[in-house]
Structure 1
């Protein structure tokens, strides 16, 4: 049942959408993780509610924000009119939009900067622009000013990573990011957060591709497709299964299923590259060899990472968490096959090592996300040959070489000259 939000003052009725609430909370300064949790709780509480007024909805959200102790976010959410003066950012096409600290911070994080540092740099730039009375600024001016700020406040290496990321974002080169790993390695969670940070709208799960194939091909014709990847070996026509090594059987079953999934995976990647759209593909079937199936185009940025959980107890703990949070994931079945899952991970890690692709230990989520983004930036750097002038344009000439020696904020007044 869809809950209708009624704005009595404006005499309007709209359906409640979790995504819209998440965006409002992000704009108010809440982190993505907390915004997602708050919006999900609100949606859960409204499941049996047919109609709610905007005031009642605001009270409900305010209560949850208050429980989190987010007083600043609460004030910004309830009273957006008290926000500081708006700064308009104009892009190369002449379109304008308000300077968003959340968006700016995510952009900096996309260049491989830690969250705390990205937020600090964003606040620093925003406060200085407000102090200088800047009402409008171009994207190239803001970009170069940020580059100068990062260079002085963080360091040359961070400034170069920001330059590399800015050059990529202004290009139309497609990014293909493949995230592999066994059950409970955190692939979906990491992929979702990275997509949010990198502003990627296309995420493809290999599990979903498998479901589509299962609808097309009945079990009696292709039984290996209709089972979990860790016990696919049970459907293979092997006579001496009892005499075979169990790890080898698990690997053969996995290979058989992964080879079938390679066909739709290749098609999805091909389509994304043709449309020049960045894509994240995640799933247990994302074998290192899949990187070779991505279109071999000079403009394509191809990145592969394997997520690993190095302790079986941790996998067990995560699977039990799934059983509580997402019952449909059939965590109990996975727990009963923990030995096979562990065996499959050992095979995947050996394959990653054979193909010389990075393995990232799945632990603290923020740390894992940062490591994946850094891997993306490392690959981008291999294709980078531009200068600051190439990336930010005439503003570099306007401020001249002395811009690098001045305090970064001293360049703001010169931009308006």
Structure 2
């Protein structure tokens, strides 16, 4: 005999109960995939056993919370904060900085997925736009890789040992113009954004937004140099990189110099740092930082008619 379908309702909307959507929602809030799927299956089985074929979304979420409290209370707290963020009319801008190869782009994509933010922008893309607008004759450092700037690109006397950081700061300052324009426009228009990249230097960009309640800044790092070095080979295997890993390894000393500068700058400026050994743990930490940062203003702001279990594929940030 075919089982009857369970319908989830919220207001005037309804949708068939989906274990996949419920498990995805719990995973986005930080639950382990196995636990998320188990709870989703348990809730569905209970509703069928009780012959509850039309159920309010709030009741489904209440059942989920009761189960989570017994199995992973931390996820309950994250789910509550995450829900407030999802329903808030306040814009959220997440800035994720870090040296080349530490995983800012991977982390940014995962954080955006979990917060349901559609716009993820890399500072390399912003730099590329600026390169088309600013001639290399005017700012040579802008047209080089962040770790490969030479003394002749700086045009003022600089000690050789200071060339890497001085040139990098010149480039980051130029890219900051584009980053700030995008952030300010996003805040003005109420658009949720994640921006990531090496150019988000605390002393240059992140500090400007340190006290803005809608902007959450963090820096990703890898304290283990061997782990950092290996990331370039892993990335080369997993993606169609134009530049081979050897090019990055050839400049690894300069990349680590920039890495240490960014991390030390973050600590001086009071910007959160996250060690990216595991993308799962790093994403948990990043979402927690964002939730703690902006849930206060989100809770006070107006709520939009949002659902966690309806129209999951169409929800936008």
TM range (shorter): 0.7 to 0.9
Aligned to 2:313: none
Aligned to 1:315: 228
TM alignment of 1:113-192, pairs within 5 A: 113-155=31-73, 157-192=74-109
Query: Which deviates the most, 83-92 or 178-187?
Result: 83-92
Aligned to 1:241: 159
Higher normalized contact order (CA 8 Å, seq sep 6+, divided by chain length): 2
Q: Based on CA coordinates, which of the two structures has the bigger radius of gyration?
A: 1
SS at match of 2:194: strand
1:306 aligns with 2:225: no
1:222 aligns with 2:117: no
Query: Which deviates the most, 249-258 or 129-138?
Result: 129-138
How far the C-alpha of 1:98 sits from its partner, in A, is: 2.8
**Normalized against structure 1, the TM-score is what?**
0.65
Aligned to 2:259: 345
**Normalized against structure 2, the TM-score is what?**
0.83
Q: Select 2:249's aligned residue among 314, 335, 339.
A: 335
Q: Select 1:271's aligned residue among 185, 191, 195.
A: 185
Task: Kindly report the root-mean-square deviation, in angstroms, between the aligned alpha carbons of the 2 structures.
Answer: 2.8
How far the C-alpha of 1:337 sits from its partner, in A, is: 0.5
TM alignment of 1:9-88, pairs within 5 A: 85-88=4-7
The answer to whether the 8 Å contact 1:273/1:295 transfers is no
How far the C-alpha of 1:173 sits from its partner, in A, is: 1.6
- Provide runs of 4+ in structure 1 moved above 6 Å: none
- Alpha-carbon distance between aligned partners in 1 of 2:31 and 2:135, rounded to the nearest angstrom: 48
How far the C-alpha of 1:140 sits from its partner, in A, is: 2.9
Structure 1, gaps ≥5 residues long: 1-81, 392-417
Structure 2, gaps ≥5 residues long: 304-317
Q: 1:294 to 1:136 in 2, by over 3 A?
A: farther
- Alpha-carbon distance between aligned partners in 2 of 1:283 and 1:240, rounded to the nearest angstrom: 26
How far the C-alpha of 1:354 sits from its partner, in A, is: 0.6
- Alpha-carbon distance between aligned partners in 1 of 2:148 and 2:99, rounded to the nearest angstrom: 13
SS at match of 1:232: coil
The answer to whether the 8 Å contact 2:31/2:75 transfers is yes
SS at match of 1:328: coil
